[in-house]
Amino acid sequence: MAYVQRKIEFVGTPDSNPETKPYWDGCAAGKFLLSRCTKCRKAHWYPRPICPFCFGDCEWVEASGKGKIYTFSVMTRAPTPYAIGYVTLEEGPSMMTNLVDCDLATLKIGQAVKLKFVPSEGGPPIPMFTPA
Amino acid sequence: MSLKGAGYIVGAYEHPTRKAPDKSVTLLHAECAKGALEDAGLTKDDVDGYFCAGDAPGLGPLSMVDYMNLKCRHVDSTDVGGSSYQVAVGHALESIAAGRCSIALITLAGRPRSEGMATGTAPRAGSPAQPEVQFEFPYGPATANMYAMCATRHMYQYGTTSEQLAWIKVAASHHAQHNPHAMLRDVVTVEDVVKSPMVASPLHRLDCCVISDGGGALIVTKPEIAKSLKRPLVKVIGVGEAPKHQAGGDIDLTYSAARWSGPPAWEMAGIKPSDIKYASIYDSFTITVLMQIEDLGFCEKGQGGKFVSDGNLISGVGKLPFNTDGGGLCSNHPANRGGITKIIEAVRQLRGEAHPAVQVKNCDLALAHGTGGSLGTRHCGSTVILERE
């Protein structure tokens, strides 16, 4: 089945969440950034400046963009069907994302995927994943 | 100090409406309050504690105690979605034990059906101040696909099948045929469920609960007052509550917060799952029921698919009669929150007031469990164990 990309609405709010601005600036520059703790060295998701594992200070690091599908669901009852999923990143954490640019019927848990930026309406491109 | 037996549920009322375009949410709350007080044999002036959650309009409980003109010493509006009402029973027990109130009123009401809400399939953005919104909403998290992701993973890890999930809907439909207020009264088969249109894979249309208007209310009071009333005695002997979240990205979607809310409730009650004669299990989707049954210890983890199959949840047929009013899957899901109706049907069973066709014989111990929020992201589990005295 040919893949059709649905429209992606940008709801980033750097005005009310100033600390996430570097993340969205990264997306605009084609870089997918993760927040990693300077103390315990663990990366987490979703990004925050205070480490959710040890309350240490975090820094932005560019992710490899490689991961594996932890789980997914194809939303059939939508104007344009899409696949939502959790991808476990090479750096450790699992993140909610979309699985794009592929036959949605062939997706499998454990499948290797790679980063693909998809344009949004009203904001920078959004990091998504496609089979590697 | 154990809260075991600190409170009794003396009033329970479920609004008969499933579609209320001509009524406000506040009026539905008040009608439920009136119904529960009449059921208990009490009046509004007896209430001195009020409990509600996010479905009540206004600033926490203030709009509601004003609207109903209640003279309360204590109010509480802990909002953990559809699990708030089991939590409210626990908090009412604490408040009664601490002397902050003696007659607690809990209400829920809402009208998503009249308001045309696509509860399960339309992603809702939420407030911009919610930290996760900007990192989740672009990916289209609706309610159905969040629960569906749990089902996909459960199937992968434990071999659970769509046919096994379907048995949960089949059991609910067997019960709903006897409930004149239920939205879906036709008995369905496993084949009907798995051949119904896919909503969010692997969940079909009939794996999902209904969208309904309505509400419910409960009255919880201290032992001395409960024993002075003319209703059968339903004692609260166990309560537990716990949140579960994404843990910084360390995600495991194969279990629910019931894994943590259950043990304190079992310990307080001093009983085990096999002692339970009737269970109300939150049923936003079939997968919700299956995971909670495992996590509450009714079967081994991963064996839920086998446990729910072959009518094991049907009253008079199986080992664990569940949701004998038809539950959210067939009867109603007022305000998109099914916690309170779970407790109400458990009270009916313990009083012997369930429909005769689904009434469990000698029903002396029952459980009502709620799940609020989203199983696929962050949610709360809340467990209440009740005993007929």
B150 neighbourhood in chain A, CB within 8 Å: 71
B135 neighbourhood in chain A, CB within 8 Å: 45-47, 95-96
pTM above 0.90, yes or no: yes
Residues 64..93 of A with a Cβ closer than 8 Å to B: which? Answer: 70-78, 82, 84-86, 88-89, 92-93
Q: At what angle do helices B258-269 and B286-295 cross, to 10 degrees?
A: 50
pLDDT band at residue A1 under the 50/70/90 scheme? low
A45 neighbourhood in chain B, CB within 8 Å: 135, 246, 248-249
Contact across the interface for A52 and B247, Cβ inside 8 Å: yes
Contact across the interface for B145 and A84, Cβ inside 8 Å: yes
Which pLDDT score, from 0 to 100, does residue A88 have? 98
Q: Is A41 exposed, middle or buried (0-12, 13-18, 19+ CB in 10 A)?
A: exposed
Separation in Å, CA of B195 to nearest CA in chain A: 14
Interface check for A39 against chain B (CB to CB < 8 A): the answer is: no
Contact across the interface for B152 and A10, Cβ inside 8 Å: no
Contact across the interface for A120 and B145, Cβ inside 8 Å: no
- Rounded to the nearest integer, the mean pLDDT of chain A is 96
Average pLDDT over residues A66-90: 97
B165 neighbourhood in chain A, CB within 8 Å: none
Separation in Å, CA of B133 to nearest CA in chain A: 8
SS (H, E, C) chain B: CCCCCCCEEEEEEECCCCCCCCCCHHHHHHHHHHHHHHHHCCCHHHCCEEECCCCCCCCCCHHHHHHCCCCCCEEECCCCHHHHHHHHHHHHHHHHHCCCCCEEEEEEEECCCCCCCCCCCCCCCCCCCCCCHHHHHHHCCCHHHHHHHHHHHHHHHHCCCHHHHHHHHHHHHHHHCCCCCCCCCCCCCHHHHHCCCEEECCEEHHHECCCECEEEEEEEECHHHHHHCCCCCEEEEEEEEEEECCHHHCCCCCCCCHHHHHHHHHHHHCCCHHHCCEEEECCCEHHHHHHHHHHCCCCCCCCHHHHHCCCCCCCCCCCCCECCCCHHHHCCCECCCCHHHHHHHHHHHHHCCCCCCCCCCCCCEEEEEEEEECCCCCEEEEEEEEEEC
Contact across the interface for A46 and B131, Cβ inside 8 Å: yes
Beta bridge partners of A44: A35
Residue of chain A whose Cα is closest to the Cα of B126: A11
Which pLDDT score, from 0 to 100, does residue B139 have? 97
What are the sequence ranges of the domains in chain B?
8-116+208-388
- pLDDT, one tens digit per residue, over A17-40 is 899 999 999 999 999 999 999 999
Which pLDDT score, from 0 to 100, does residue B280 have? 98
Query: Does B8-116+208-388 carry CATH code 3.40.47.10?
Result: yes
- Rounded to the nearest integer, the mean pLDDT of chain B is 97
**Which residue ranges in chain B fall short of pLDDT 70?**
none
Residue of chain B whose Cα is closest to the Cα of A110: B156
Residue of chain B whose Cα is closest to the Cα of A78: B121
Task: Give chain A's domains with CATH numbers.
Answer: 18-131 (2.40.50.840)
Which pLDDT score, from 0 to 100, does residue B127 have? 82
Which pLDDT score, from 0 to 100, does residue B128 have? 80
Which pLDDT score, from 0 to 100, does residue B300 have? 98
